[in-house]
Structure 1
Amino acid sequence: PVLDWALLDEGFAFLSESYGRPAAIGVAVALAVVAVGLPTAATLSMRRLRGLVIRHRAGTTRTVAALVVVWVVCAAFNVRVVEGVTVADTSATTLTNGHGFQVRMRLDDREKFAALLQDDRFAQTPGDQLLTALRGKNVVISFVESYGRDAVEDPEFAPQVGAVLDDGTNRLNAAGFAAQSGFLTSPTFGGGSWLAHDTLLSGLWVDNDQRHRTLLASDRMTLNGAFRRADWQTVGVMPAVSRAWPEGSFFGYQRFYDARALGYRGPKFSFGTMPDQYTLASWRRLEQAKRDGKPTMTELALVSSHAPWTPVPDLVDWAAIGDGTIFKGTAKESDDRRRNTTQIRADYRHSIEYTLSALISYVQTYGDDDLVFIFLGDHQPAAVVTGENASRDVPITIITRDRAVLDRISGWGWQDGLKPGPQAPVWRMDTFRDRFLTAFGP
């Protein structure tokens, strides 16, 4: 609540998209009642208790003394009424203390993060000394929603998702492409995609909304900014953006396509405004098919694998996509009230398979010698999919026909193919920007 209060608006939008505006309003009203009612009731309760204590001071003193003795005895002998639940428990006190420490630490974080913003080894690098090994290449950095390490390692997902990636590796190899993959550790888990975008592109660890807002108010050079300084055309494709989005000016897109600009006329698929295959096709129609000679750097968000992960359409012929009306009837709406955890996990896997299949098909169909396509997950899905205590790692892959590009990252230790194995290196996501600029600089 200290740093992320601004996300209440995003939470309301998510509920509206998922369950309708009346349900979202009902939840908002209920939360407001609870937010006001709890402290009010607690205050009135304490006032009443104070009066009782004053009127019965002797009895109160004896009762409290007896309870202290009982608590100490129970703590000393670890007394349990139910297995796993101790009578003398300190977890509430520990939790309160932990939250208090976290609040204090977060309040101090603003100054710490401001200092990190100023520490940028590439801030003054001239454009002609940036990204020299990628001159003439059209570079794409694509975030795949909720594509986490569990998708390629969990036994419930890995066989099917792995088959898509292995088949894609073979198909792309046959088309002259090569790929290498590793893992990055995301600053967020189960949501907050924009924090991962911030972290990868800025080279700073952005794990809360206060850092996000501070970053947007700075002049930090992002990867997008580095490409623009080096004379690339910079493009943003964000199909989930359906209202004003001030972040666009910070990232410095010269051309930006939100949900409205992409012109989708087909059916809505759960939280995603349009299928990922349509996003890729529209990006090609609006940008890739009418190049003006300058190379482009595109940041592309793919959102069909966003929670709640149902439904997703079938892949269709690229030439038949048009305005998206072809997707009508390609997927059946499901009744969320009847979905159990098993079904949710199956739907998650299916959505990841769909997005990866669309991405691979796009590169195979339209990729050329100048394409350098980087795709990665933004974060792991929620605990309903991964279980508790899952890692925060996400796969990252680079695809190109130019072996010289992959030679530049030979020291990274990434593994061949679209699927990183268990021994693939793991970096923090905030280290990627500087490693990338170093590898492809002079």
Structure 2
Amino acid sequence: MTLTTLAAVFVLAALVLPNRVVGLGPATFLRIPGEAVIGAAVLLALPRRARAAVAAVGGVALGAMTVLNLLDMGFDQYLGRDFNVILDWELFGDAESYLEDSLGRTTTLAAVAGVLVLVALLLILPALSLVRLGNALARHTGTATRGTLIAGVVWITCTSLGLQVAGVPLAADRTASALKVQARRVSDTLRDEAEFRKVARVDAFGNTPGSQLVPELRGKDVIFTFIESYGRSAIEDPIMAPGVDSTLDVRTKALAKAGFHAKSGWLTSATYGGSSWLGHSTTMSGLWISNQQRYRTVMASDHLSLTEAFRRTGDFDTVGVMPGVQKGWPEQQWYGLDKVYNAFQLGYQGPKFSWSTMPDQYALQQYQERVHSKRPADGRSRMSLLILTSSHQPWAPIPKMVDWDRLGDGSVFKGIEAAGDKPADVIADTSKSRAEYGKSIQYSVTALTEWLERYGTDDTVLVFLGDHQPIARVSGNHASRDVPVSLVAKDPKILDKITDWNWTDGLRPAHDAPVWKMNTFRDRFLTAYGSTPHPRKG
């Protein structure tokens, strides 16, 4: 009797399980699932063998829906969206690598094993539970039939009258509704894939000759830099903002003293909490790349990237510095980069800082020594793409600034890394995660702007921005997807070209500064600096 009761409780809980952490609460599990009423009626009507088979298959299906609900919870907490059953499986490899870098191989192996065991249990236990419940119904047919009829009448009554418990409807069809949502999500994904291929073939600057691209930037040293997880929350959240805003104000004044001036605004990112490459490619392509399929489609296309536009002119060398790239990166061709330095090509001999392979300050110094200090051949200019990683979660340990002349091969960071917080301590503490996230942004912004102050020239044009907001545990469940973007230069003509953008003076965008979707930046930038549209219509 006890096992049968536990089986019933388990099945009922699985049937009403929400797909959001905020939906978990006692009232949620006091609901009457309509699927249980229908399931009981079906099992009562079937003969023994058919009943066992239907119960087993139904249990596995219920287990699969439970797994999907849990995945939705996790993806919503970390990426601000639901799990996509078609596109998101490959992200688990990245998640495993992140855990290994943050918590170590042993902990990661234990976590992976635990997840696999949990998934197996969630598929097996509902099947065993439903088979047991089906047999119990068959042994007490009369009582079970009356109970099913009563439950059906109660469910219909609660639905008709809209009865609620603590604001939650008493009658539920959660699993049936979730199944419909999953089916619609699959259909929408397949349709989106076909439609996006057509969209990607259309390009306002697709047929523009190189001579008509960015003519106002000829002779300039243009640098595009992404700061990991640099989101609006860093500037406006009560916990993170005081430190970050102070840093932005101090660095604005320091740059002004060195002759640099800045304007800043907001972009709404195509991603949230992670999948940084979607933010990078959205900014550079002028397309809304919000999932992995869209990303693959664009990477396989000849849609013009902002970085490729500079190479197409014939007047710019193009180079990338990617300390976060630790394997082959075929995207280099689409980005139009003549040369890319990955994590293993920057000579770093210091410790990793959790996921980040090296501190931003070191990566910037290597950029200076290997790229920026060396003028391109034939009097050409240079366009660079830098992806900084020190502000990547879990924000522990965080590097500290050291004297630029002492950076060497990075060994100087060994003591700093050893004295820093342990990732496990920060991951488990939401308040500490928020505070340490803010410190990591302060570090990255300081490193980048100190580099500019130290090595920038009259021809330097720096555009830097965030790729996405940090995870919901840090930014909050209702945070926007906005990220700051700044353009910095000494030449006043460069900033004059974007006067009509109405951006805020300085490195800190005002709360009411313009907000654009991230995919609009490419065309606005190309237009501002004299590019002539020659559309390709697909």
Aligned ranges for residues 189-338 of structure 1 at < 5 Å? 189-231=272-314, 232-292=316-376, 293-331=379-417, 332-338=419-425
Q: Structure 2 counterpart of 1:434, which letter?
A: D
2:504 is the counterpart of 1:415: yes
Offset of residue 207 of structure 1: 0.9
Q: Given residue 122 of structure 2, which amino acid in structure 1 is its aligned partner?
A: L
**2:73 is matched with which residue?**
none
Counterpart of 1:185 in structure 2 is 268
CA distance in 2, matches of 1:91, 1:353: 44
| 1:84 positional shift | 3.9
CA-atom RMSD, angstroms? 1.9
- The reply to whether residue 2 of structure 1 matches residue 60 of structure 2 is no
Offset, 1:183: 0.3
Q: Which moved further from structure 2: 374-383 or 204-213?
A: 204-213
User: Are 1:169 and 2:252 an aligned pair?
Assistant: yes
Contact in 1 for aligned 2:223/2:462 (Cα 8 Å)? yes
Deviation string 1:64-116 (CA, Å, 9 cap, x unpaired) is 221121123334455455x3444223444444332322221012111011011
Correspondence list, 1:390-409, <5 A: 390-409=479-498
With normalisation by structure 2, the TM-score equals 0.78
Aligned pair partner of 1:100 in 157, 180, 183: 183
Q: 2-side partners of 1:164 and 1:333: how far apart?
A: 21
Structure with the bigger percentage of helix: 2
CA–CA distance in 2 between the matches of 1:94 and 1:411?
48
Conserved? CA contact 1:144–1:375, under 8 Å: yes
1:106-125 equivalences under 5 Å are 106-125=189-208
Could you give the per-residue CA deviations for residues 389-411 of structure 1, whole angstroms, max 9, x where no partner exists?
10000000000011111111111
Secondary structure of the corresponding residue to residue 262 of structure 1 = coil
Q: CA deviation at 1:59?
A: 4.5
Q: Deviations over 1:260-294 (max 9, x none)?
A: 10111112212111000001000000001111232
Structure 1 residues 405 and 337, CA gap change in structure 2 (3 angstroms): closer
For 2:196, the aligned partner's letter is: F
Please give the residue correspondences for 1:80-159 in structure 2 after superposition, counting only pairs within 5 Å. Answer: 80-81=164-165, 83-159=166-242
1:133–1:109 CA distance, 2 compared to 1 (3 A) = same
Cα deviation code 1:341-375 (max 9, x no counterpart): 22111111111111111111111111111100000
Which residue of structure 2 aligns with residue 433 of structure 1?
522
1:54 deviation in Å? 6.0
What's the CA shift string for 1:220-277, capped at 9, x where partnerless?
2111111110121111111011122222232221111001101111122121110000
Structure with larger Rg: 2
When structure 1 is superposed on structure 2, of 16-25 and 395-404 the one drifting more is 16-25
TM-score (norm 1): 0.94
Q: Residue type matched to 1:185 in 2? A: T
1:344 maps to which of 433, 436, 454: 433
Which structure has more RCO (C-alpha within 8 Å, separation ≥ 6)? 1
CA distance in 2, matches of 1:329, 1:49: 60
Structure 1 counterpart SS, 2:415: coil
| Aligned counterpart, 1:377 | 466
Whether the aligned pair in 2 keeps the contact of 1:190 and 1:382 (CA below 8 Å) is: yes
Secondary structure of the residue aligned to 1:394 is strand
Q: Any unmatched runs of 5+ in structure 1?
A: none
Paired residue for 1:65, among 149, 152, 157?
Answer: 149
Counterpart contact for 1:6–1:209, Cα < 8 Å: no
Q: Distance in 2 between matches of 1:165 and 1:207?
A: 29
Q: Deviations over 1:125-183 (max 9, x none)?
A: 10000000100111111000111001111121222111111111111112111110000
**Do the aligned partners of 1:4 and 1:210 also contact (CA within 8 Å) in 2?**
no
Which deviates more from structure 2 when the two are superposed, residues 161-170 or residues 92-101?
92-101
Inter-partner Cα distance in structure 2 for 1:336 and 1:371: 37
Count of aligned pairs between the two proteins: 441
Tell me the equivalent position of 2:31.
none
Q: What's the CA shift for 1:301? A: 0.7
Distance 1:258 1:60 in 2: 66
Distance 1:256 1:207 in 2: 25
Stretches of structure 2 lacking an aligned partner (at least 5 in a row): 1-84, 532-538
How far does the alpha carbon of each residue in 1:291-328 deviate from its partner, in whole angstroms, 9 at most, with x for none? Answer: 12321111101111100011222211212211111222
- Between the aligned residues of both structures, percent identity stands at 45
One-letter amino acid of the structure 2 residue matched with residue 328 of structure 1: K
Mean CA deviation greater in 66-75 or 405-414? 66-75
Task: Decide whether the 8 Å contact of 1:164 with 1:353 is kept in 2.
Answer: yes
Partners of 2:325 and 2:342 within 8 A in 1: yes
Does structure 1 retain, via aligned residues, the 8 Å contact 2:320–2:384?
yes
Partner secondary structure for residue 260 of structure 1 = coil
Residue 57 and residue 214 in structure 1: after superposition, are their counterparts in 2 closer, same or farther (change >3 A)? farther
Asked if the contact 2:270–2:518 (Cα under 8 Å) also holds between the matched residues in 1, the reply is yes
